[in-house]
Structure 1
Amino acid sequence: MKLRKSFSIQLRNLFLAISLLTVVLLGGCEFQLDFRELVSQIVEQIVPPPAITQTPTATSPTVESTDVGAVTPTAPPLSGAVELIIWVPPQFDPQLDTPESVLFKQRIAEFEASHDDVFVTVRVKAVSGATGLLESLTITSAAASQAMPTLVALPRSDLETAVSRNLIIPFDMYSSEIDNQDWYDYAQRLTVIGGSSYGLPFAGDAMVMVYRPSIVGEPPDTWNDLIRRGEAISLPAADPQSLLTLALYLSSGGDLESTQRLPPLELEILTRLYQLYADGAQSGVFPLWLTQMQKDSEAWTAYNELRSNWVITWLTRHLSDPSEDSNMTFIPEVNNSPTTLADGWVWSLTDPRAQVHELSVELAEFLVEPDYLTEWTPLAGVLPVRPSTLIGFEDQTLRTTLGQIALSAHIRPSNEIVNVIGLVMQDQFVQVLSGKTTAPFAAQAIIDRIGNP
């Protein structure tokens, strides 16, 4: 509306100017003004000069002029005494009367001594269950986030679940220590989920075979060698996670690291693997009583009761309570490819207080320094996470074996693979050992039930 009015005024001015100019020219009036100047003045009246636009000077944002949602909050600085709380499972309790616990307690005291007004409190939680580490984290985060621990020691499976529940803070936001070359590949992979690292590993574990050399002699290199011997081996055939079968599937050339949630399984590999189970059941290597065992502890008990002279178990079980008549070695190979599944414990960051994150990360790094782990790892009876810490094991044979196991170890598959594929594999393993199905039918049943994409 204003635009039309302005344009109308300009036309009226133009008409008057032209009329005036005509009168002047016809009347022969003489003016001091030059014709060009007169025209210029007329144009200036009709077309006003453009408005001068001034570039605003940049100013510091104020509360009134800044979008609150775009502001990145700055954590207030630390002041006064700071308490850092660590949650650990019972085996890492610093109050236990064991050499590794005493060393852990001393290490914490060293950190406190090097930081004024910093106090570290260690609280022990069950490994699993309603009061376990994972569930305690979940409940505390929802009900009283200010009570969340600073660091928590988690196994791989719980770390994966905790990340999916947004209970863990990405560690690589504050530290690049995991990129150090002094880590075994399996140990680095323990911390990585979805491309981000969620902590620092400090203790490893792996599936191994323990045997009595005075009775069975040298261990077999392959499962076919073991089957030819015809001597019973103890293992949890009814384990719903079927970790042994998953390990042997990898050893046979199978792939469980597909980008898909559930990787496609290969029928030929499954058929060969379950034929091995059928042959073992026929020769007595896999006796029927294995189908009643679901837990590693049950297989270990059978071994100690002399029901077998071989047992598939976890490395930490043997190292924490070694027997003088027993040695440890790799799980027998399938295709000349030593492969075992590894698990382990990771220091993860869980404290919601941003102002203590750097200090918390410093504590975690302090607890995985090579010099400390070199001394602590043999005492704790765990698989080394750093190659440099192998020198802490005085037994040269054991040191070599541990190094080879750490190099060949694959981290356990994702929780979804273990819970879905593992359960189906376990069911068919029991069916084969019970003589209720054959290897080809078992392999096809697994494919059918998983539904290969």
Structure 2
Amino acid sequence: MSAHQGEGPGKQASASAPERAGLCCCLLAFCAALLLAAGCARQEPPTSKPAPPVSATPGLPGGNPTPDPRAQQRPVATVSPQVTRTLTIWGPDFRAPLDESPAGAEFRLQIQAFEAAHPGWRVEYVRKKPYGQGGLVHFLRATHVVAPELLPDLVLVDMSEIGLLAGDSLLQPLDTLLGPEITSDLLPFAREAGEVDGKLLAVQDEADLRFLAYNSAVIAEPPSTWAEVLASRASYLLPIGATEGSVRDAFLPQYLAVGGKLVDREGQPYLDPALVKAVLEVYQSAREAGLLPVAGLDLKDAGDCWPVYLTSRVAMTNVSSWDYGRERTSKLANTRVGPLPTLSGNPISLSSGWGWALISTRTERQTVAAELLRALLRPETMAARCRLTYHLPTRRSALRLTIEDAAYLEFLERVIEVTVPQPREPAYSLAVKALGPAIEAVAEGELSPEAAAAKAVEAMRTARQEMASGSQP
């Protein structure tokens, strides 16, 4: 097993749709040169000597394998012991199987166990930027055009970007290769996130959910509707500036809960003006009542709100399962959790996360790649990783192994049933660009909800026209 650098480290905000999709000529030339230079590393010489590992950034874990009796019934690829073949993974820096973090070390051990069980195969993890030009999706699409023989066998990708890769016919169906013991155990939102046209093209292996955290010393019961929020007179800290987090972590769940869509029946980017206006109206009412703290204008997402909540008398805030999981057993004597309040009272949560997709079209390589995925997706393996990373596993059986607190597990199992995946690109990034300024304008009192909604809808319509005309690939 080896891991090496593809691009520089660092996680950045989701890029816009043009940045993700644009395959301009200069980039293709650059990618071609870079990929061809890397071609030697991708070739599989007739030698059993492993490539030396090189330095990389911390990653996420795998887990210790356990025997799987079903494996005897599945096809197993075999090669001559004199030949070593390489199964190549492209993934983000922070998921690399390296010892810089406990999670990365766990992942490394799992890969090494797989290699030991499959003589003649080694696993190579090539690190890429997670987003933007030269990032995973951009690099995959460019390689597909200029040097398809250098594509990896597997890729770890943000689940919201699955649609971009599926449109290029890069992803191979996983249902049959993984088998029903895995696919039938996936949480509903994870199945939805990875499914395109009825086929499972990616399998999410970790997730973060959004829900309400509230101070039980300030309010006895969490509100289930925005009418109850306003009646409670309790402060509700949300990101309300022109940021991605203000859309993803606060506005978007409200919009989706009342039936809002980011694409129309033809799959084109779309915003419902009446529903955007309705959500902005409750924001306006809460700001005028002094319930949405002005500090939210300077907080980019729920992650920024969380430490403010912990150190102040704010009554409520939206929190991710990742942030809450890290603090749950230490600093939260008075904190309780509940579903997000919505306009209609219909509970909702939004999930995000990363998952695996199969790129290789060769049967033997698909078989080996599927065996690796089945090893990494075993319940005990997922639980071992998620206990270290504080992300949630996406199999029901793994969730029950991961969360030991019975009350919190029961809450999560209820929230999971109303969770929807983060909308896909490119509509998601276009919605962020359109809605962020509208949220901030209403929060600062610069525009009425109706005027701000109209501007957001027009921005989405303009982006749609640009895409149709080809100015936004």
Query: What's the TM-score once normalised by structure 1's chain length?
Result: 0.73
Paired residue for 1:233? Answer: 237
Q: Give matches, 1:421-436, under 5 Å.
A: 421-436=431-446
- SS of 1:209's equivalent in the other structure is strand
Q: Is 1:406 aligned to 2:416, yes or no? A: yes
Q: CA deviation at 1:334?
A: 2.3
Match for residue 160 of structure 1 among 156, 160, 163? 163
Taking the aligned partners of 1:108 and 1:413, their CA distance within structure 2 comes to: 31
What is the 5 A alignment of 1:307-346? 308-320=314-326, 322=328, 324-325=331-332, 326-346=335-355
1:273 is the counterpart of 2:279:
yes
In structure 2, list runs of 5 or more residues that go unmatched.
Answer: 1-76, 465-473
Find the residue that maps to 1:219 and give its secondary structure. Answer: coil
- Give 1:401 deviation, angstroms: 1.9
- Matches of 2:158 and 2:313, distance apart in 1: 31
**Is the 1:86–1:149 Cα contact (8 Å) retained in structure 2?**
yes
Q: Distance in 2 between matches of 1:247 and 1:178?
A: 31
Cα RMSD of the aligned pairs, angstroms, is 3.2
* Map of 2:58 onto structure 1: none
Partner residue of 1:210 out of 210, 213, 219:
213
Amino acid at match of 1:387: R
Deviation at 1:167, TM superposition (A): 3.7
Pairing 1:348–2:352 present: no
CA distance in 2, matches of 1:249, 1:161: 23
Deviation sequence 1:203-233 (CA, Å, 0-9, x none):
1122223344455554333333333324141
Give the equivalent residue in structure 2 for 1:117: 120
Query: Are residues 1:358 and 2:367 paired?
Result: yes
**Distance across 1 between alignment mates of 2:98 and 2:340:** 35
**CA spacing shift, 1:121–1:449, aligned 2, 3 Å:** closer
Q: Residue 449 and residue 113 in structure 1: after superposition, are their counterparts in 2 closer, same or farther (change >3 A)?
A: closer
Change beyond 3 A, Cα 1:341–1:224: same
AA partner of residue 124 (structure 1): R
TM-score (norm 2): 0.70
Describe the SS at the equivalent of 1:378.
helix
Matches within 5 A, 1:20-419: 78-79=79-80, 80-96=83-99, 98-142=101-145, 144-172=147-175, 174-177=177-180, 180-214=183-217, 216-227=219-230, 228-240=232-244, 242-243=247-248, 244-256=250-262, 258-262=264-268, 265-300=271-306, 302-303=308-309, 306=312, 308-320=314-326, 322=328, 324-325=331-332, 326-351=335-360, 353-392=362-401, 393-419=403-429
**Whole-Å separation in 2 of the counterparts to 1:320 and 1:123:** 29
Percent identical pairs in the alignment equals 21
Give the residue type in structure 1 aligned to 2:281. Q
1:359 is displaced (CA, Å) by: 0.9
Q: Secondary structure at the match of 1:415?
A: coil
Contact 2:79 2:120 in 1 (8 A): no
Larger radius of gyration: 1
Counterpart AA for 1:288: V
Q: Deviations over 1:385-419 (max 9, x none)?
A: 11222322111122112212221111112223323
C-alpha displacement of 1:450? 4.3
Q: What runs of 5+ residues in structure 1 fail to find an aligned partner?
A: 1-75
Cα distance between partner residues in 1 of 2:427 and 2:197? 15
| In structure 2, distance between residues paired with 1:98 and 1:217 | 39
Partners of 2:307 and 2:240 in 1: how far apart?
11
